[in-house]
Amino acid sequence: MFVVFECQTMNVIDSRCRFVTPPMVTFEAIFEQSTPFTPVIFILSPGSDPTSNLQKLAERSGFGLHRLKILSLGQGQEGMAMQLLDTAISRGMWLLLQNCHLLAAWLPELEKELEKLSKPHPDFRLWVTTDPIPSFPIGILQRSLKVVTEPPNGLKLNMRNTFSKVSATRHTHTHTHTLYTS
């Protein structure tokens, strides 16, 4: 009877872990769900920045860094952002607009441009980073994939996150140093 009780306790603990552990979302999976008409919005939390992961995705997918344009928004960047958006739509580039919360007053113009989008290049993707703000246009949110980025909490999740980024071939291919051979 004691053994049965212990097993039941372990099952309860194991089932709780499944619900507490956040899922591992890869940038490849995010890209597969996106379309030229569906921007991807990264809602940031302190300590998270998806830029390097997006750059790695561009390299891995054969897209190349020369077709990924990154603009960090701030005062006076509205014109440059619109120019890069027009270029990205027509030439099939990826555009990452960082820190959109800093230009909240300009976001309704971005919303209007996205509503006018009729025949973008099939390779075009719009990636956006923002802190959570109440004034973010609902029209952009409704048409977008929303990804909340949080740094892993704790050693186990941090290790899981790190190993999820290592390819299977690199993980299994190990280099042995001459000092450690038998």
pLDDT (tens digit per residue) in 42-86: 998 887 888 888 999 899 888 888 899 999 998 889 999 999 999
Measured CA to CA, the distance from residue 1 to residue 17 in angstroms comes to 25
So where are the chain's domains? 39-44+59-151
- pTM, rounded to two decimals: 0.72
Whether residue 131 contacts residue 44, with contact meaning beta carbons closer than 8 Å, is answered with yes
DSSP string for 56-90? HHHHHTT--GGGEEEEE--TT-HHHHHHHHHHHHH
Measured CA to CA, the distance from residue 112 to residue 139 in angstroms comes to 9
Measured CA to CA, the distance from residue 157 to residue 21 in angstroms comes to 8
Name the average pLDDT for the chain.
80
Measured CA to CA, the distance from residue 100 to residue 131 in angstroms comes to 8
With residue 19 as reference, give the H or E element that holds it.
helix 2-20
Check residue 110 and give its pLDDT: 94
Average pLDDT estimate for 13-26: 60
Domain 39-44+59-151: top CATH class: alpha beta
Neighbours of 107 (CB within 10 A): 21
Whether residue 53 contacts residue 147, with contact meaning beta carbons closer than 8 Å, is answered with no
Q: Is the pLDDT of residue 16 over 50?
A: yes
